[in-house]
Amino acid sequence: MSNASPEPLPLVRPYALTGGRTKPKRDYPIEALVKTDSESGVLGANGFRSPEESAIADLCAQSRSVAEVAALIKLPLGVVRVLISDLVDRGVVQVHTSASASEDDRPDAALLERVLRGLRKL
């Protein structure tokens, strides 16, 4: 056991990752699925603006929810929504939202029942 503490990682404030923006251009729900657009051919030549954008693109090679992406890269949900919105604008990822919302933007009762059953099984 040593008393030496590990070297601290450089701290980048979340607002710096988004250029001070707090609202995405498109507000995706936390359950929306994000997938890297493999057909766009922009992955290597895109020039990601941050390591976080690159991490999102890598993670989303498989479909993942917005909330899952935020948890895996350990960033606040709001920051991840802004970064995902930027990546959508540049054609790097696609976002698929649930078609189960009703006209008044309330979730479908059947969907809520399925979620509740799944939670009870935990």
What pLDDT shows up at residue 10? 58
Spans in the chain with pLDDT lower than 50: 41, 45
Closest CA to 26 of 99, 95, 102, 100: 95
Q: Quick check: is 39 in a domain? A: yes
What pLDDT shows up at residue 108? 76
What pLDDT shows up at residue 115? 85
Looking at residue 26, the DSSP 8-state letter turns out to be: S
What is the largest distance, in Å, between two alpha-carbon atoms of the chain? 61
pTM of the model: 0.67
- Number of domain units in the chain: 1
Q: Quick check: is 29 in a domain? A: yes
Number of H helices, E strands in the chain: 5, 3
Instruction: Give residue 89's domain range.
Output: 15-99
